[in-house]
Amino acid sequence: MAEIIKKVKLVAPGGKATPAPPLGPILGGAGINIGEFTTQFNEATKDKMGEKVSVVINVFDDRSFEIIYKTPPTTSLILKAAGIKSGSGKNAVKKVGSITKDQAREIAEIKMPDLNATDVEQAMKIVEGSCRSMGVEVK
């Protein structure tokens, strides 16, 4: 069985990965066949077109690789739910938007497999902490 020699973590737009920078140099440096990766990634994420998709790529000693798909970043889910483009640069002073507790629960349920939480209530606290750091209120 092939042995893992490198792990690469990256975030790419779903269905739109290209060999151009920033992906190309990262993948090439890890010894991954860039064309093969972009084909596999775009095929698997075509239903998430334009959304940010987190992946972990395990690179094996025979230059083969395995792609593990993660849930979208918490911040991008919060921005989408709040309907804003970016968070506040001064989160303690300036609030840029708000989400409801129900929206926070939905985000927590989506993120549950990737969070270090045992139940949805704990996951909601993690999401609410991300909201505070972005200048988004939870009502």
Angle at 14 between CA 103 and CA 33, to 5 degrees: 145
At 49, which CATH number?
3.30.1550.10
Whether residue 78 is found in the same domain as residue 64: no
pLDDT tens-digit readout, 83-129:
998 888 888 788 999 999 999 999 999 999 988 899 999 999 999 99
Give the count of domains, the chain: 2
58 and 107 in a single domain? The answer is no
| Residue 33, domain extent | 4-69
In 3D space, the residue among 48, 41, 108 whose CA is nearest the CA of residue 74 turns out to be 108
The answer to whether residues 81 and 118 belong to one domain is yes
pLDDT score recorded for residue 49: 86
CATH number, domain containing residue 103:
1.10.10.250
* Final residue before a domain boundary, out of 69, 101, 125: 69
| Nearest of 69, 15, 19 to residue 46 by alpha carbon | 15
Give the Å distances, CA to CA, from 65 to 1, 5, 31, 51. Answer: 13, 10, 9, 23
The predicted pLDDT at position 137 comes to: 92
Same domain, 50 and 79: no
Q: Which of the listed residues 69, 90, 112 is the one where a domain comes to its end?
A: 69
Return the H-helix or E-strand segment holding 8. strand 4-13
